[in-house]
Amino acid sequence: MLRDNPGPVRTVGAHDGLTAKLVQQAGFDAVWSSSFEISASHGLPDASLVTMSQYLAASEAMDLSVDIPVIADCDTGFGGPLNAAYTVQRYERAGIAAICIEDKLFPKINSFADTSQDLLPTEEFVLKIKAGKEAQIDPDFLLIARTEALIAGMEVSEALDRASAYVAAGADAVLVHSKSKRPDEVLDFASRWESEVPLVAVPTTYHVVDEDTLYNAGFRVVIYANHGLRAAVRGVQETLGELRRAGRAQAVQERIAPMHEVFALQGMPAQYREGR
C-alpha cells in the first residue's frame, strides 16, 4: 500500500460501507475505519465504549464495499499485548490492509477531548507492537504505531524517542498525532526523523497545511480522519431544520441526493434505478 506511490496515500475516515463507498467514489486512495466515526454512529463518545467486535464488523463492511485498502483505527489495541495480538489476527483474517494502535492507556478518550491524556510507558507499548507483529501471518499486512506524545503535551523529542522504540519493535509506519492549530511540531518531528519507516499525518486541527508540504517533509500517508462525518452532521442538521420549518418535502428536494444515486451506491441493479 505504501510502495511506489508518487505522492501521499490520501485517506479519508468512514464508519460503514456507504461512507467507505463515498470515499472511493471521491477518488481517494484508502479508507480510514475511524473509531471516532464508528463511535459517533452508535451515538456514543469515542472513549473505548464500542467493542473490538463492533469495530471489526464495521471495518469488514467497509472492506467488502470498496476496492481500495482499509486502514483500521484500533485505538489502544483493545487491551494488553495479548489483546493486540488477537486484534492483528482478527483484522488480518478479515482482509483489512492495516491497523493502527496508539500508546495511550486503556480505556482511552478521543485525542481532542478537553481532558488529560495518559500514555502507556514506552516499554509496555513496545510489548504490544511485538506481540502484534509476532501474531501476523500476511507479510503485506501493516501495523502502524501511533504516538500521542504531542497530544499529551510532551516535547517533540519524547515523541521521537517513543516512535524510534516502536520502529525497533517492528512497527511498519509511525503516526505522530498533534492537536496544534499549526503544522510546526509535526514538521519539526519529520525533520528530525532518521528512520526509513514512513510517517503518517492526520491534519485535523492543523488544517492549513497542504499534502505536498507534508509529503515533502516525509509523510507518506495523510488521513482526513473525520471530515465525511462532520460534513454529514452539518448537512443533515441544515436539511432537517429546513424541512421542519417548511413543513413539506419539496423545500429540501434540491438539497438531497436523488434515489437513483443512492441505489447506485447500494449496488442496486441498473434496471431498478429509475425511481427518484
Helix, coil or strand: residue 188: helix
Helix, coil or strand: residue 35: helix
Beta strands in the chain (DSSP E): 9-14, 30-33, 70-73, 98-102, 142-147, 173-176, 199-201, 219-224
Beta partners for 145?
Answer: 101, 174
**Which of 46, 63, 75, 103 is the catalytic position?**
46
Question: Which three cell numbers mark 130?
Answer: 511485538
User: Which residue shows C-alpha cell 421542519?
Assistant: 244
User: How many CA atoms lie within 13 Å of 98's alpha carbon, on the beta-carbon side?
Assistant: 26
β-strand pairing of 98-102 with 70-73:
parallel
Instruction: Give catalytic status of residue 138 as yes or no.
Output: no
Helix, coil or strand: residue 109: coil
CA 124 vs CA 80, 104, 120, 128, 131: distances in Å: 9, 11, 6, 7, 11
Q: Which residues are catalytic?
A: 46
